[in-house]
A = this chain, B = another copy of it.
Amino acid sequence: MSIHSIVVTGANRGIGFGIVEQLCSLAPNKVSYIIATARKPEEATQLKELASQHENLIIVKLDVKDYASYDQFYNQVSSIVGDKGLNWLINNAGILVPVNFETATPEQMIENFEVNAVTPLMVSRKLLPLLKLSATQNKARTQIINISSDLASIALNNPSASTGSIGFIAYRASKSALNQVSRSMSIDLSKYNIHVSMVHPGWVRTDMGGPNASLSIKESATQMLSFLLDESKELNGKYLSYDGTEIPW
């Protein structure tokens, strides 16, 4: 089933870039418009090189915290996708403020929360008219995918879990909040037939994950896309690992 259009935020590097790269590797008519956002497109060298090779990849500037720029962003996306609207929104832009109980300041807690939990809500609401256009016309599922983390799991934040007791209190709190925001969105948007899921990309060798992580960017991106593209898999309101298995809240 062909997909009209996809937006991926924070696509200049890491998981976001990996997802865009894999989307570009699909058959050229699989996704008509892949819109990759970057805070500083002029510095997004990898992304620009990829776009020079793929006509369906368009780079658009977006700083997710710059709410005053959202009108302009909306207009740009709208002029690209046109009347068929937006099929997928992948809220990938995120940060990790590496602080723990002993060190976290209120400003750091808020910074991590705003980028990771608030901006996905704001970007989604801004693009909602385009998502609604898609949901009423396109056969392929219309969906919002919020890139979460297994560190969002409150159940797994315990000393015996593999993800337990390693600090990152600001990041964890921001991603748990994102999961809750996502669940509310999955309820609120179901009336428009828009699905909302949370996906943990795995521990990936990115700037954030570090060189010792277990997965390459490509391994993570291909596995996530395999179930996101699978229209038979129920995604709405789910918190899924890169391999498609559910993670406890």
Contacts and interface: CB of A to CB of B under 8 A. Distances in A.
Interface stretch (A5-13, A87-95, A172-180, A210-218): A172-180
A188 interface: yes
Nearest to A111: B110
Interface string A113-151: 110011101100100000000000000000000000000
Contacts of A153: 249
Interface in A154-182: 154-155, 157-159, 164-165, 167, 169, 172-174, 176-181
Contact of A125 (B101, B121, B155, B188): B101
Contact of A102 (B125, B165, B180): B125
Interface core residue of A101, A154, A174, A179 (most chain B CB under 10 Å): A154
A164 B180 CA distance: 12
What's the number of copies of this chain in the assembled complex?
2
A209 interface: no
Contacts of A114: 106, 109-110
A248 B178 CA distance: 17
A249 B187 contact: no
A86 interface: no
B109 A121 contact: yes
Interface core residue of A178, A180, A188, A239 (most chain B CB under 10 Å): A180
A41 interface: no
B113 A101 contact: no
A184 B167 contact: yes
Contacts of A173: 117, 177-178, 180-181, 184
Given A113-B117, A153-B249, A159-B190, 5 more contacts: A102-B188, A106-B118, A109-B113, A121-B169, A154-B239
26 contacts: A101-B121, A101-B185, A102-B188, A106-B114, A109-B113, A110-B114, A113-B117, A117-B177, A121-B169, A153-B249, A154-B176, A154-B249, A155-B249, A157-B180, A157-B183, A159-B187, A164-B187, A169-B184, A172-B180, A172-B184, A173-B177, A173-B181, A174-B177, A176-B176, A176-B180, A249-B249
